[in-house]
Amino acid sequence: MAGIRIIAPEHPFRGIVQLPLSKSESTRALAMHYLSRGAVIPSGLSPSSDVAFLQEITLILSSQTGGMLYAGDGGAVARFALPLAALTPGRWILDGTPRLRERPMAPLAQALAQLGVDVGYDGIPGHLPIRLQGGTLRGGAITLDGSGSSQFASALVLAAPRLPGGLSLELTGRLVSLPYLDLSLDMLRRLGMRAEREGARVSIAPQPYPAGRLNISPDWSAAAFPYALVALRPGSSLDLPGLSTDSLQGDRLTAALFEPLGVKTLRTSEGIRLEHHRIPTNHPLDADLGGTPDLLPALAVTAALRGQAMHFRGIAHLRDKESDRISAVQALLQQCGCASKAGPDWLEVTGQGLPAQAGPLDPQNDHRLAMAFSLMALASPITLKDPSCTGKSWPQWWEVLRGLGFRIFTE
Which of helix, strand or coil describes residue 62?
A: helix
Instruction: Report the distance separating Cα 350 and Cα 278, nearest Å.
Output: 20
Instruction: Report the distance separating Cα 385 and Cα 393, nearest Å.
Output: 17
Q: Residue 170: which residues within 8 A CB-CB, separation 6 or more?
A: 141, 142, 143, 144, 200, 201, 202
Angstrom CA distances, 36 to 31, 160, 201, 366, stand at: 9, 12, 24, 32
Catalytic option among 73, 219, 294, 366: 294
From the list 59, 397, 365, the residue with the least C-alpha distance to 222 is 397
From the list 80, 72, 81, 76, the residue with the least C-alpha distance to 101 is 72
CB 189 within 8 A of CB 259: no
Instruction: Report the distance separating Cα 47 and Cα 51, nearest Å.
Output: 7
Catalytic status, residue 294: yes
> DSSP characters for 37-54?
TT-EEES----SHHHHHH
CB 390 within 8 A of CB 398: yes
CB 214 within 8 A of CB 43: yes
Instruction: Report the distance separating Cα 411 and Cα 409, nearest Å.
Output: 6
> DSSP characters for 215-280?
PPPB-HHHHHHHHHHHHHSTT-EEEEET--TT-S-GGGGHHHHHGGGTEEEEE-SSEEEEEE---S
User: What is the number of residues in the chain?
Assistant: 411
Strands 90-95 and 285-288: unpaired
Angstrom CA distances, 14 to 48, 139, 223, 232, 258, stand at: 26, 52, 15, 13, 18
Q: Which residues are catalytic, by number? A: 294
